[in-house]
A and B are shown apart, each in its own frame.
Chain A
Amino acid sequence: MTLLVEGAELSIGRARVLSGVSVALRPGTVTALVGPNGAGKTSLLRIMSGEIAPASGAVRVDSRPLQDLSPQQQARCRSVMTQHPRMAFDYIVEEVLEMAWIHGCRERFRRAAMTIALDCDIRQLVGRKFNTLSGGERQRVQFARALLQIWRHREDATEPRYLLLDEPTASLDVAHELLLLRITRKISERNIGVLLILHDLNLAARFASHVILLANGAVQAAGSPEAVFTNNVLSQAYGARMHVERHERLGRLLIHTD
């Protein structure tokens, strides 16, 4: 039960974006994908989502090759939140949420949407036009949409699923950033594998159970935050002197630069 990438190679034009990348995303974990700009994080996420196929290498979901699954089958077991553009037409938020509802039954949609809207603090946005929302509000709506897509009724609640988030907190204020990351940790307990592209290493250290450090199109280190976030590994990957220390009172790693 894993979303697995094995030896993925990818070039865009002449530029080599990924070389021999192998990663695993396990249900029940929150995995942070970190690395400097241009490391290939978004490309790796696009490969994992099935949006692009690697030039060589394989992507497997629960030991089946990803390309053997139809778009509908893929949509049922993973959802993706991208860094998002505007929409051409004035849909209201409720309609945007409904777009993610691939489970039929309107009655259930209303109940599930209400729960998730409350969780994500977008209840007051539901009747507004999506295009009139601020960047952060739109990001919260998109997050709620991604959650609705992999929603399961109680009896199927343990099906393995994957949630791939590309910089989900980029436009969020501190409070909503924390809210979103808390939700990811909470839902990972329902047999969901969450992949987060994050720039804030402190947040990654605090909320992720696993970390993948990507630089120059290759995996530099992977494992628990404690294993990946070391002075040497980070300094080398980011090309800047970085220090990692453990804050005993907060009980977590703190990462800072010179």
Chain B
Amino acid sequence: MNSVDELKLPARLYGLRMGGLALLGALLAGVCAMALGAGAIRIPVLDVLAGVNSGLESTVFFQIRAPRVLLAGVVGATLAVAGASLQGLFRNPLADPGLIGVSSGGALGAVSMIVMAPALAGAGAAYALPLSAIAGSLAVTAFLYAFASRFGHFSIVTILLVGIALNALANVGIGLFQYLSDDAALRTLTFWMMGSFGSAAWTTVLPAVALMAMAAVPLLRQGRELDLLQLGEPEAFHLGVDVRRTKRRVILCSAVTVGAGVAVSGIIAFIGLVVPHLTRLAIGPNHRYLLAGSALLGAALAMLADTVARTLATPAEIPVSLITSALGAPFFLWLISRVRPK
């Protein structure tokens, strides 16, 4: 018997995954450097970093471009991690923060703040908007959880169906606010819902980033539990997973991280759905690697999309959701067509 093959196989696979992660990390570093270097204003980045240049370029680099790149990266990473976690939890590659109403809940929270207290949203936007968006996301997920638990079982189908209903309900709320709002609020709302990293300043970025990271770290640590859940919920329990607690953690952490992201950058389409797919195609479905890989690729993709959004039509900019969809969708199709025939 040639048992040597068998001993080698796991090692080779492990190497492939680590190699894949390293590659994604390198990609992220490259995109990050490009994002920091590109923009409407030509900035001698090395001079600025060395402190030689301290004029307008330095201000733009440190006060405008750097927080924006950081925000894009963190929002992209957390959206991708939340997407991968929810896809794992629901054992459905089509699950998405948008699908179970988390994004719409956040949007509804923020929109209600914009429409009902425009003065507050203007002056204290840095605090009021994220809080109301997170409250919206949490309200949706808490209701989802309570509703599903009431019926004793906590099945995935129940969550998905209730999520669809909540999504519709949140959209009704957004539509209603849109109808009630006056002209100016309506325009804020529309542009805010198209997503942008343009409002990034350290004062708004740092609290949001801290919050998103705090909620994303527990998700990153659920890799093994999510893997075991792929065998089925009873099977995961048989293997020692506290299924209820895992579900609760994944849902709550996804809600907080997505809500905080929605609040500072609007709804960024597509990343939560596609990045986990692409990562899976690159390094396989194993969540211990998938979550980290999704974070790296999500950050890279969001930074890239934002760079395109702010450089393509300078001095104006394009809504970033337009770019994430335009960049992601064809790439995704191409990847599927490459991988399927095997």
Contacts and interface: CB of A to CB of B under 8 A. Distances in A.
Interface of A: 46, 49-51, 70-76, 78-80, 82, 84-85, 87-92, 94-96, 98-100, 102, 106, 109-111, 113-114, 117-118, 123, 126-127, 149
Q: Interface size bucket, B side?
A: 20 to 34
Interface string B167-205: 000000000000000000000000000000000000000
A46 B230 CA distance: 19
A88 B93 contact: yes
Interface in B224-238: 227-228, 230-232, 234-235, 237-238
B239 A82 contact: no
B285 A89 contact: yes
Pairs A-B, 9 closest by C-beta atoms: A75-B240, A89-B285, A88-B91, A72-B240, A80-B238, A71-B240, A114-B6, A87-B230, A51-B234
B239 A102 contact: yes
B213 to A, nearest CB: 26
A82 B232 contact: yes
Interface of B: 1, 3, 6-7, 9-10, 13, 91-93, 227-228, 230-232, 234-235, 237-243, 280, 284-286
B191 to A, nearest CB: 37
A114 B3 contact: yes
A96 to B, nearest CB: 8
A222 B154 CA distance: 36
Contacts of B232: 82, 84-85
B6 A123 contact: yes
Given A89-B285, A99-B227, A49 B9 contact: no
B239 A89 contact: no
Given A71-B241, A76-B240, A99-B239, A89 B6 contact: no
B276 to A, nearest CB: 10
A123 B9 CA distance: 11
A118 B242 CA distance: 32
B86 to A, nearest CB: 12
Nearest to B1: A118
Contact of A100 (B3, B7, B91, B239): B239
A126 B240 contact: no
B9 A126 contact: yes
Contact of A51 (B91, B92, B230, B238): B238
Contact of B284 (A79, A90, A98, A123): A90
A91 B3 contact: no
Nearest to B287: A89
Contacts of B240: 70-76, 102
Given A91-B286, A100-B239, A46 B13 contact: no
Given A71-B241, A90-B280, 16 more contacts: A49-B234, A71-B242, A71-B243, A76-B240, A79-B238, A87-B91, A88-B91, A90-B285, A94-B10, A94-B13, A95-B284, A99-B239, A106-B10, A118-B1, A126-B6, A149-B239
Contact of B228 (A80, A99, A109, A111): A99
Contacts of B227: 91, 95, 99
B3 A94 contact: no
A99 B232 CA distance: 12
